[in-house]
């Protein structure tokens, strides 16, 4: 890429036929930076386009009618959503009775708001105070959720990562702990909800405990497997250089797996979000889950969508920041050569 541009700067034009065609479907070949970017944009643009199409093209789906003028139908109200069939039946009845026809526009069910409504909700969620006094701001709900995830994940990692490394390094610990961890992993974390509340009260603590239980047991196994995948030749090389016991662990095993460990943690953090949703339903429900159920109860589905999207945005942003940080912290990773 750089070589080609450098050449053209100096007046020499590289043969075009060689590079102009992009092989979109070459097996296990990386695409160039531009096609890559284009596809990444498309991957978001396509679902959005589909959503727009269903929302804004009146003859696509739209199984409901939003009534603008009830006419002579008694129970119709302006702004009400009725099923298209009902609307047509009532209209027919009115025609037969020579009354005033109701009018309305095709609409989608209440649970599928249009993109612009969700966008507006996302904005107003941060600007307009909640409609009811008992409700929390969206950012307050999010803040409480993030706290639960953070503490659940950090506590789990503080214990789970060292344990996993020990299991992956020493057969002793692997035999001693892994069978039990393997067993416990199959117990669904939410099943401990009632127990957690009984022991830890009804506030944040039992929720943190659920995220912890959900993450911890997977984490030990994932980390121990990653540790076992370290090339044994590196350990042998280190031994012939004089490394023994703890220096093998601290100078070879840990630095040798740290990049894979980092990647594991990014994946596990994603899983922790899944446990958050169940965790928040126990005790006094709170956080983003409470926000979502509450808004759904009042049929503010634009707010529901806004909240869900914000979770997604937080998730992907965290992951991208972590990926970027990873490339800074671990300069020896392949493909990030500073040269």
Among residue numbers 223 through 252, which ones bind other proteins (CB under 8 A)?
A: 231, 233-234, 236-243, 247, 251-252
Q: Find the binder of other proteins among 258, 277, 309, 322 (CB under 8 A).
A: 258
Separation CA 35–CA 37 (nearest Å): 5
Give the shortest CB-243-to-other proteins separation in angstroms: 5
Separation CA 339–CA 336 (nearest Å): 9
> Hunting for tokens 């840990």 — which residue is that?
254
Give the shortest CB-249-to-other proteins separation in angstroms: 12
Within a 13 Å sphere around the CA of 231, how many CA atoms are in the beta-carbon half? 6
Residues 6+ positions from 13 with CB-CB distance below 8 Å:
7
Q: Find the binder of other proteins among 21, 28, 328, 334 (CB under 8 A).
A: 334
Give the shortest CB-157-to-other proteins separation in angstroms: 21
For the chain, the distance separating the N- and C-terminal CA atoms, rounded to the nearest angstrom, is 15
The alpha carbon torsion through 26, 28, 29, 30 (nearest 10 deg) reads: 120
Separation CA 131–CA 123 (nearest Å): 15
Element (H, E) at 67: strand 64-69
Among residue numbers 270 through 289, which ones bind other proteins (CB under 8 A)?
A: none
Q: Find the binder of other proteins among 3, 18, 27, 339 (CB under 8 A).
A: 339
Give the shortest CB-36-to-other proteins separation in angstroms: 22
* Residue 40 contacts other proteins per CB under 8 A: no
Q: Which is nearer to other proteins, 200 or 243 (CB)?
A: 243
Among residue numbers 293 through 332, which ones bind other proteins (CB under 8 A)?
A: 330-332
Bridge-partner residues for 276, per DSSP?
none
Give the shortest CB-326-to-other proteins separation in angstroms: 13
Give the shortest CB-261-to-other proteins separation in angstroms: 12
Among residue numbers 59 through 88, which ones bind other proteins (CB under 8 A)?
A: none
* Cα angle 194-200-205, degrees, rounded to a multiple of 5: 100
Which residues of the shown chain bind other proteins in the complex (CB under 8 A)? 231, 233-234, 236-243, 247, 251-252, 255-256, 258-259, 330-332, 334, 337, 339
């Amino acid at each position: 890429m750089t070589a080609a541009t450098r050449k053209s700067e100096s007046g020499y034009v590289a043969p075009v036929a060689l590079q102009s065609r992009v092989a979109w479907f070459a097996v296990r070949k990386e695409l160039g930076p531009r096609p890559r970017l284009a596809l990444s944009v498309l991957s978001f643009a396509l679902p959005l386009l589909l959503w727009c199409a269903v929302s804004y093209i009146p003859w696509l789906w739209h199984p409901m009618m939003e009534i603008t003028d009830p006419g002579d139908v008694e129970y119709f109200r302006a702004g009400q959503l009725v099923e298209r069939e009902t609307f047509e039946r009532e209209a027919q009845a009115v025609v037969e009775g020579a009354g005033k026809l109701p009018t309305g526009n095709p609409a989608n069910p209440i649970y599928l708001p249009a993109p612009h409504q969700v966008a507006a909700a996302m904005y107003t969620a941060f600007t307009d105070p909640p409609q009811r006094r008992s409700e929390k701001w969206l950012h307050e709900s999010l803040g409480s959720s993030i706290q639960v995830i953070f503490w659940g994940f950090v506590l789990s990692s503080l214990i789970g990562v060292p344990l996993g490394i020990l299991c992956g390094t020493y057969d002793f610990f692997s035999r001693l702990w892994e069978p039990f961890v393997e067993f416990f992993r199959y117990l669904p974390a939410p099943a401990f909800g009632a127990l957690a509340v009984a022991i830890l009260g009804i506030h944040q603590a039992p929720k943190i405990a659920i995220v912890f239980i959900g993450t911890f047991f997977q984490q030990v196994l994932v980390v121990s497997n990653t540790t076992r995948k370290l090339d044994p030749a590196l350990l042998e090389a280190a031994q012939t250089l004089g490394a023994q016991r703890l220096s093998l662990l601290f100078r070879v095993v840990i630095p040798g797996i740290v990049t894979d460990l980092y990647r594991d943690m990014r994946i596990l953090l994603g899983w922790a979000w899944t446990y958050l949703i169940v965790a928040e339903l126990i005790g006094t429900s709170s956080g983003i889950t409470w926000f979502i159920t509450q808004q759904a109860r009042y049929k503010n589905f634009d707010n529901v969508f806004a909240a869900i999207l914000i979770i997604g945005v937080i998730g992907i942003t965290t992951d991208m920041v972590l990926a970027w940080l990873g490339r800074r912290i671990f300069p020896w990773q392949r493909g990030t050569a500073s040269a």
